[in-house]
């Protein structure tokens, strides 16, 4: 059964473009503006939804997070599946601190100096609700939603 979410009014971005909202979810799909997505999905400010660059929380890597950081959202919400999982500190650091690669990119590309990005990781259902709340507040938020429960036995889980 799909849990439905509704905003009071569809928000718009600062430029007036419509914002993607999560309108429902279940273990097999996420509904974005009423359209079901049956795969993990990445939402970025001012961009249409796109397939996630990785299919599970365990596959999340520094390269993916650097790409998200370059888009300069204020915060990244990660929905880790059916159960909340903690983002490993070395991956959270990619979003919060500069790397040598960031310094080289900033030198080569004017305006590519990406600020730190806050990150929160939680189960996907909570992440959907949190994302909608932040978007309707007008925040520049990115989201990475993973479907189902792909929890590895040795992954740190939230109780």
Interatomic CA distance for residues 68 and 126, integer angstroms: 20
DSSP alpha helix (H) spans, 34-137: 62-70, 89-96, 100-108, 124-136
Residue 78's domain is classified under what CATH number? Answer: 3.40.1230.10
Residue 89 lies in a domain: yes
Residue 27 lies in a domain: no
Cβ contact 133:21 at 8 Å = no
Range of the domain at 63: 38-145
Number of domains observed in the structure of the chain: 1
pLDDT score of 4 more than 80:
no
How many percent of the chain have pLDDT more than 70?
A: 72
Look at residue 116 in the predicted model and tell me its pLDDT.
87
Residue 57 lies in a domain: yes
Q: pLDDT higher for 128 or 156?
A: 128
Strands of the sheet containing 29-32, edge to edge, are: 3-4, 22-26, 29-32, 35-37
Residue 154 lies in a domain: no
Residue 67 lies in a domain: yes
Residue 23 lies in a domain: no
Cβ contact 75:139 at 8 Å = yes
Look at residue 5 in the predicted model and tell me its pLDDT.
59
Asked whether the whole model's pTM tops 0.85, one would answer: no
Taking only the tens place, the pLDDT of each residue in 25-46 is 988 899 999 999 999 999 999 9
Cβ contact 14:139 at 8 Å = no
Average pLDDT, the chain: 81
44 alpha-carbon distance from chain centroid: 7
Residue 115 lies in a domain: yes
Interatomic CA distance for residues 69 and 96, integer angstroms: 9
Residue 151 lies in a domain: no
pLDDT score of 135 more than 90:
yes
């Amino acid at each position: 059964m799909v849990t439905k979410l509704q905003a009071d009014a569809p928000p718009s971005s600062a430029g007036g473009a419509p914002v993607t909202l999560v309108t429902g979810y279940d273990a097999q799909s996420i509904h974005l503006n009423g359209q079901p997505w049956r795969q993990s999905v990445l939402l970025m400010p001012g961009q249409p939804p796109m397939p996630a660059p990785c299919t599970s929380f365990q596959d999340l890597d520094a390269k993916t997070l650097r790409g998200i950081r370059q888009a300069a959202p204020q915060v990244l919400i990660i929905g880790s599946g059916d159960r909340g999982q903690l983002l490993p500190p070395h991956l959270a650091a990619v979003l919060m601190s500069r790397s040598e690669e960031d310094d080289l990119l900033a030198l080569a590309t004017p305006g590519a100096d990406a600020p730190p990005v806050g990150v929160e990781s939680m189960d996907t259902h909570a992440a959907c609700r949190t994302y909608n709340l932040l978007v309707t507040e007008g925040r520049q938020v990115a989201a990475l939603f993973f479907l189902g429960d792909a929890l590895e036995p040795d992954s740190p889980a939230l109780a």
